[in-house]
């Protein structure tokens, strides 16, 4: 299982840590050694959390082509519309059958991708 977790500037450490811990633990415990989790963003490189930490080695949006599931743990505050580029990439992933899973404050982004059935 290839899991892509969305990261962006001003995300909280909590919103990054929760899915990384949950999905990563399965692999670390040997329960599903083929599970791999990656952080991705609109651009490859680093993101800065709201707490001021820099999280490096974040993959770019091509990760959506790799992923079996996409996790959107949060959405930038104040809530803003999703960019057309990101919306198109998420819709393409969804059309290929990749589940897009929104957590917490993601409802605005998810509804703007037109993925709600």
Please list the pLDDT of the chain residue by residue as tens digits (117 residues): 999 999 999 999 999 999 999 998 888 899 998 999 999 999 999 999 999 999 999 999 999 999 999 999 988 777 777 788 888 898 899 999 999 888 875 555 555 555 554
Residue 87 token pair: 């919306």
In terms of Cα–Cα distance, which of 58, 83, 78, 82 is closest to 5?
Answer: 58
Residue 10 confidence (pLDDT): 93
Residue 29 neighbours by CB under 8 Å, 6+ apart: none
Residue 33 neighbours by CB under 8 Å, 6+ apart: 27
Residue 39 confidence (pLDDT): 97
Residue 109 confidence (pLDDT): 56
């Amino acid at each position: 299982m290839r899991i892509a977790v969305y990261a962006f500037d001003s995300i909280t450490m909590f919103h990054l840590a929760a899915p990384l811990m949950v999905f990563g633990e399965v692999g670390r415990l040997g329960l599903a050694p083929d599970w791999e989790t990656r952080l991705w963003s609109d651009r490859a490189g680093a993101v800065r959390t709201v707490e001021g930490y820099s999280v490096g080695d974040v993959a770019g949006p091509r990760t959506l082509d790799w992923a079996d599931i996409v996790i959107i743990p949060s959405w930038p505050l104040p809530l803003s519309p999703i960019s057309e580029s990101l919306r198109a990439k998420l819709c393409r992933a969804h059309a290929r059958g990749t589940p897009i899973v929104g957590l917490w404050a993601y409802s605005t982004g998810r509804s703007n991708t037109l993925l709600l059935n």
